[in-house]
A and B are shown apart, each in its own frame.
Chain A
């Protein structure tokens, strides 16, 4: 049994006080796993990631990173615990150069900043070529790659991805998912929120189905794919 990286116990959270989107969600992610969260619009998938990152307040329940309680810890400290996050929108600094985008994340390390950045450039040659360019000039797919690279320089042991394929062309989607797979093969656990349930589940070890801020179903990726209840509820358009 692998070590648990992130554990959520009955988490309730929302954007406005007294109006919770999440109404008690449980979640476990072990090291090196790929786990996806699927569910209809408004199920609370993105909200769950924001609650984990400390971007919104957790009003009830508890949250652990590597066995230590981190409920309502400031965001920059969650990052230092090894949790990386790529938001769905606003996931790069558009007015900063590509190199500066990577530098910002690397400061959490306190050491080997130069090496980390040059290694990242080796992994993503496209970024190296355009290192002095403003990040805001990148295309959608390139931005997503930069967003992944930016989150990797914080040396995460787990990476939270919020709909990395949203708005991308099929070619760019393929590239992004290949990159995610590669990141995972280097030992980084992945928590993936996806609109496209089929793609997400076939890509993942395990999956959680959320509905109206609560856990609906969970299981192995391919089992959920074949589960008639899940198909009925969320995957009707398969």
Chain B
């Protein structure tokens, strides 16, 4: 159980970071982004490419290595690259669609198409799972759970990122502007906010968070072309569980889902059926939504 709790916390923080990213984007743009998983994978793939030893071939490419083998620098560049990629998607794809007043469902289908397209590009680059070039570490006990020092660092960094996102949304000008656009795009514009800029910023920050979640995921497991897609359902579950569009809810919901998925592996009746671990988490999501349709932290809208 102790081991599962440690794994649960790790998956929890990954799902939480990815859910916040998805929730921010949905809140501000009303886009349900099915390509979110591929941005997660992009973060991991870019890091793998940048951080692998110079003489190795990754992704069927001879590794180009201007950074040396600096892992942290590779992560930083990859996360920034994901932000750039998100910005490009908004600027050249989703902004034109928005200006043409393409409906939400059509945009959703576009994101599904984008997801498939990107996933298969990754598959073309490399089909087999690979690990980051990091040395093996022994588990240690932290308080009441076991994990490697590296994974413990992932957990701490994830928590710091969550706190920073919270501070950004609540205390900075751009964070307040994002919440204003989330409430009403038109009203934000007539209050003097350039909502196109806010949406662009949201795409960039959401994609950076997704890329970071991908690096976390790959640090704990490995890099796969479909690694984002595999956890996308859990990310949606976390977002919905916390209350759609609320960032704090997404954090908590994501965390709960991640912990439940891994802790349920330790349940007696799950022995030999660990591949069904997502089922328990999704069942809990459904039960909670039956009693609280707006999610744990979602608020019922007061109409008028």
Binding site for B on A (CB under 8 A): 53-55, 74-76, 79-80, 84-85, 87, 89-96, 100, 103-105, 107-108, 136-137, 140, 143, 150-151, 154, 167
Contact = CB atoms under 8 A, between A and B. Distances in A.
A150 B180 CA distance: 12
23 contacts: A54-B189, A55-B186, A55-B189, A55-B190, A74-B189, A74-B194, A75-B189, A79-B190, A79-B192, A87-B187, A91-B187, A93-B179, A93-B184, A94-B183, A96-B180, A104-B188, A104-B193, A107-B173, A107-B193, A136-B299, A136-B301, A150-B191, A154-B192
A53 B186 CA distance: 10
Interface residues of B, number: 22
A75 B192 CA distance: 7
A171 B202 CA distance: 42
A167 B304 CA distance: 9
B239 to A, nearest CB: 17
B176 A96 contact: yes
B191 A104 contact: yes
B80 interface: no
Contacts of B193: 76, 104, 107
A151 B190 CA distance: 8
B302 interface: yes
B183 A96 contact: yes
Contacts of B189: 53-55, 74-76, 79
Nearest to B177: A104
B37 to A, nearest CB: 28
Contacts of B299: 95, 136
Contacts of A100: 176, 179-180
Contact of B176 (A75, A91, A103, A143): A103
Given A87-B186, A90-B186, A140-B304, A95 B179 contact: yes
B182 interface: yes
B190 A75 contact: yes
A74 B192 CA distance: 10
B180 A93 contact: yes
Given A93-B179, A93-B180, A95-B182, A80 B192 contact: yes
